Amino acid sequence: MSKIEHAVRDIHFITASASRDQWVNLIHPLVKFALTAGYILAVVSFPKYDLAGLAGMAVYPAAVFILADLSFLDAVRRIYPIFLFPCLLGICNPFFDKNTILIFGMTVSAGILSMMTLIIKGVFTVLASYLLIATTPIDKLCYALRMLHIPKEMVTQIMLTYRYLTVLLEEGNSMIQAYALRAPKQKGIHVKAWGSLAGQLLLRSVDRAEAVYESMLLRGYNGAYLYLKEKIAFRRWDVVYGLFWAGVILLFRKYPVVLIAGNLAGGMLG
């Protein structure tokens, strides 16, 4: 399978995951959106040497992976290229920051420490975002955005972009397949063909996007917000879930729970 084919499958997989009836999937989208945003803020705001405190923040993604019955390895396989960014950013730190710091009773280079916190921050942020979209269908997510008074036009754009992304990738994929079938001995695509392929891809996806848009118009779409007219009510569970995680995130942000628990356990054993 080509890379694009993988990408299309990944998007379809995430879409399919989001529309399951899992318990977390049914939590009110606004609650999940706010939690994700809050979680990311909390993670990003950790001091740059506080690796121990930061490690505790794994509790939220870990729990959601379990609740949503999603595979962690699968997620990593799907989104690992994104992890490259924080790694690239972090990799310079050891060269600039030559101090040493005592942590878990060991002396380590401050540069390496700050590199690791940066990478972990990046990983947690990406995971939390992934979990949000893998447990919340795009239309419900857009509904949450509307509740936050994000302008209609913008939300509609997000929704359409999401839809056209797969259209674009699928068109690209079928073109590359057609190319490969007629150039069986060649690996990849010859440089000479890139220009025309890219141009074709643009034209084709514009065509396809236009057809999709026409089909929407013909079925009564009038440029206003895309459906989900029925209200999503808040249930008691939504509130409990939201408050619980807000509490946990605050707690873990404020206290190095992992260290304390470690010390306690150590104390009891010793």
> Judged by CB, which is closer to other proteins: 167, or 257?
167
Q: Does 217 bind other proteins (CB under 8 A)?
A: yes
Q: Contact region for other proteins (CB under 8 A) — 28-36, 163-171, 197-205, 244-252? A: 163-171
- Tell me which of 103, 112, 216, 259 binds other proteins, using CB under 8 A: 216
Q: Does 214 bind other proteins (CB under 8 A)?
A: yes
- Tell me which of 5, 10, 19, 83 binds other proteins, using CB under 8 A: 19
Q: Does 215 bind other proteins (CB under 8 A)?
A: yes
Q: Does 2 bind other proteins (CB under 8 A)?
A: no
Shortest approach of other proteins to residue 189 CB, angstroms? 24
Q: In whole angstroms, what is the distance from residue 35 CA to residue 27 CA?
A: 11
> Judged by CB, which is closer to other proteins: 45, or 222?
222
Q: Does 156 bind other proteins (CB under 8 A)?
A: no
> Judged by CB, which is closer to other proteins: 73, or 230?
230
DSSP string computed for the chain: --HHHHHHHHHHHHHHHHTS--TGGGS-HHHHHHHHHHHHHHHHTS-TT-HHHHHHTTHHHHHHHHHTT--HHHHHHHHHHHHHHHHHHHTTHHHH---EEEETTEEEEHHHHHHHHHHHHHHHHHHHHHHHHHHS-HHHHHHHHHHTT--HHHHHHHHHHHHHHHHHHHHHHHHHHHHHHH-TT-SS--HHHHHHHHHHHHHHHHHHHHHHHHHHHHTT--SS--S--S--PPPHHHHHHHHHHHHHHHHHHHS-HHHHHHHHHHHHH-
Q: Does 202 bind other proteins (CB under 8 A)?
A: no
- Side-chain-side CA neighbours of residue 249 (13 Å): 25
Q: Residue type for 66, please?
A: I
> Judged by CB, which is closer to other proteins: 16, or 250?
16
Q: Does 197 bind other proteins (CB under 8 A)?
A: no
Shortest approach of other proteins to residue 181 CB, angstroms? 19
Shortest approach of other proteins to residue 157 CB, angstroms? 15
> Judged by CB, which is closer to other proteins: 83, or 213?
213
Residues at the interface with other proteins (CB under 8 A): 12, 15-16, 19, 137-138, 163, 166, 170, 208, 211-212, 214-222, 227, 229-230
